[in-house]
Homo-oligomer: A and B are copies of this chain.
């Protein structure tokens, strides 16, 4: 058993800056009472997370309900890792006609869902927390 390392809380701005360095995050949704964790490539626009998926995806449980989105990165050689967890509400912006939604749909996001990945979702953030971990 390895010893525990030190942990440092990250501020909201630092969390957002770090999130923006990554392309893959993990979306947490609840489907029939069971938590699912789904890898999603994403784009950030300010504090808003945007991604694409397909019509049949379980991720469509995300709109209008609580979701979490986790992004992390570890440098195993340096023994330093961080993780940011954004909690918020999912919203389907596929057909939204407001200017903001049009802007979000212009972002470059690759989808891991089987094509056609023609649905756009965003997460409206409520709480953003993060940790820097020095692995002992």
Contact = CB atoms under 8 A, between A and B. Distances in A.
Q: Which 5 A-B pairs have the closest CB atoms?
A: A28-B35, A37-B70, A28-B37, A4-B115, A39-B83
In terms of DSSP, what is the predominant structure of the interface of chain A? Answer: strand
Interface in A24-66: 24, 26-30, 33-39, 41, 52, 66
Interface of A: 1-2, 4-5, 7, 23-24, 26-30, 33-39, 41, 52, 66-70, 72, 74, 76, 81, 83, 85, 87, 108-117, 131, 133, 135-136
B109 A133 contact: no
Contacts of A70: 26, 37-39
A53 to B, nearest CB: 10
A130 B113 CA distance: 12
A85 to B, nearest CB: 6
A83 B85 CA distance: 19
B85 A112 contact: no
A72 B133 CA distance: 20
B85 A36 contact: yes
